[in-house]
A and B are shown apart, each in its own frame.
Chain A
Amino acid sequence: MRNIWTIAQREYKLYFATPIAYMVAFMVLLIIGFIFYVNLSAAMVQQFAPGVDTVLGPLVTLLLFGTPAITMRLIAEEQRMGTIELLLTAPVRDYELVVGKWLGGFLFLLTLVAVTWVFPLALNGLVDPGIDQGPLLTGYLGIVLISAALVAIGVSVSAVFSNQIAAFFATLGIFLLLWLISMPSDAIGSLGATLLNYLDFSEHFYQTLFRGVIDLRDIVYYLSVTALALFMGTMAVETRRWR
């Protein structure tokens, strides 16, 4: 556990020294802020009370595109720089390395998500009698779970590549696939549709947590994706030794 924490700490601190992390944070906050402003203006004219969905909707989409940029370097860069040799010959187990990297990236993403909390706070002040607290809490719970799963997938992909750009696009590809996989389910019907719906990342969010509903199945889904991805990342590091 201590090794995991040592590695996670280093990764977390390093994000504040790299321009990419700042750019991702800047982009995410800028776009959310812009959409937030547009929504507020529209609400003034059309007389409806905007909810937390005006923040969470765009946030989750931006995470899909921003997370690969945050996770791409985690292990790929170690491989390119040769420092992986250092970590793999230190008394650290392979899973500790992968989980440590994941934790570092996850904590950074959580920091970014925590900053977006200012928008619902502002909204709560503007809207009378305040916004619906249920979707706020469950929505953010969903974001945290989704972040955990996305970063885990990102770390795992990063373990396969020694090129960050390749890791970025591979990760983004997997994210988009998981996000859209339920699209053909209407056309297929029956068992296939159920399966695709279950695998879909967005189905577990928009149908429940986004609307203020907590369903244990969704939590289990995101946690299993996280665990599975971390397991596969460990396997990827291990097979690296055999090459």
Chain B
Amino acid sequence: MIQVEGLTKDYGLRRAIEDLTFHAEKGEILGFLGPNGAGKTTTMRILCGYMPPTMGRARIAGFDVVDQSLEVRRRVGYVPETIPLYPDMTVYEYLKFMADLRRLSNSEERVDEVLEIVHMEERADGYISNLSKGMRQRIGLAQALLHEPEVLILDEPTIGLDPAQIREVRTLIQNLGQERTVLLSTHILSEAQQVCDRVLIINKGRIVAEDSPEQLQSRLTGTQRVALKVSGDGDGLEGVVSQVRGVTRVSAGSDGGLEFETSPGLDVRPDVARAVVSAGYDLVELHPIGMSLEEIFLQLTREEPAPPEVAEEVEEDDLGEDNA
């Protein structure tokens, strides 16, 4: 449904995205994950025909985004990051206008239908300027659904919403993704994990990883990390643990404990426990630390020396989301 080959876009001298190649099938929800400024919006804008790429090709439903832009635009529903709404129109007027622009023969019925999908029937006659952020988001989505597009492109669909609204929008996207191709961007990892069939991690304009959220997680967590804690004095503990077969890397953990990694596919926890106890320590804690998608993400996006402030910003954002 979506085929992208070697997509590159320059803004003047700055290269926003470089040599992106990916595809998405019908009925698939593809997540576009990356820190702010990674090139997510640029890629999406190219795919929906807003601007042409500098190099490379992209096809949607078999139509080239540059040469057959109008055909592509007929088949794509796009919700940009800042929802484009006219505040001085009512919800109904706005959707009717968009339906007319798309030359839908049954525009009035379709407006009623999409209002029902996003649960906004009661606000149809209200002015858009009076709507809350969550409602605007839903109207943005309604607008993108008017023409029953084969491909939905959503740029940060849950940004600025409260937790209840986020859940609602995610469910909506999952339902929509059953018969459509959905490409959504986010910098919230748990969202990608929950909603997407496949995740594409993009950093500084390049794809750094591509897989299903589960695969991605297990691929990078083949080596397990385990935290260990003893009560009292832990001198010499490091030596004891590192002698156990299968333990690869031992490091000081948080709050006085130890952390070690194990060889892939080997559970060494019983051996470690026995060794620690027989060496005379009082073992109080021994538990695996699963590597969350969050850590994978940070690891992947940090591999190339990224500007530190970008990485920190992402971290804070994600923490904020999780707390909410």
Contacts and interface: CB of A to CB of B under 8 A. Distances in A.
User: A and B bound?
Assistant: yes
A90 B86 contact: no
B73 A91 contact: yes
Given A10-B97, A86-B143, A89-B73, A2 B103 contact: yes
A2 B103 CA distance: 8
Interface stretch (B46-54, B234-242, B293-301): B46-54
A17 B88 contact: yes
Majority secondary structure of chain A interface residues (helix, strand, loop or mixed): helix
Interface in B138-158: 143
A7 interface: yes
Interface in A1-32: 2-3, 6-7, 10, 14, 17-18
Interface string A226-243: 000000000000000111
Nearest to A97: B101
Contacts of A87: 101
A82 B52 contact: no
Interface stretch (B77-85, B179-187, B196-204, B272-280): B77-85
A122 interface: no
A89 B70 CA distance: 9
A6 B97 contact: yes
A81 B101 CA distance: 19
User: How big is chain A's contact interface, by range?
Assistant: 20 to 34
Interface string B62-91: 000000001001101010101011111000
B97 A241 contact: no
B50 A89 contact: yes
B98 interface: yes
Contacts of A18: 88
Contact of B80 (A14, A85, A93, A242): A85
A195 interface: no
B100 interface: yes
Contact of A81 (B52, B74, B84, B103): B84
Contacts of B84: 81-86
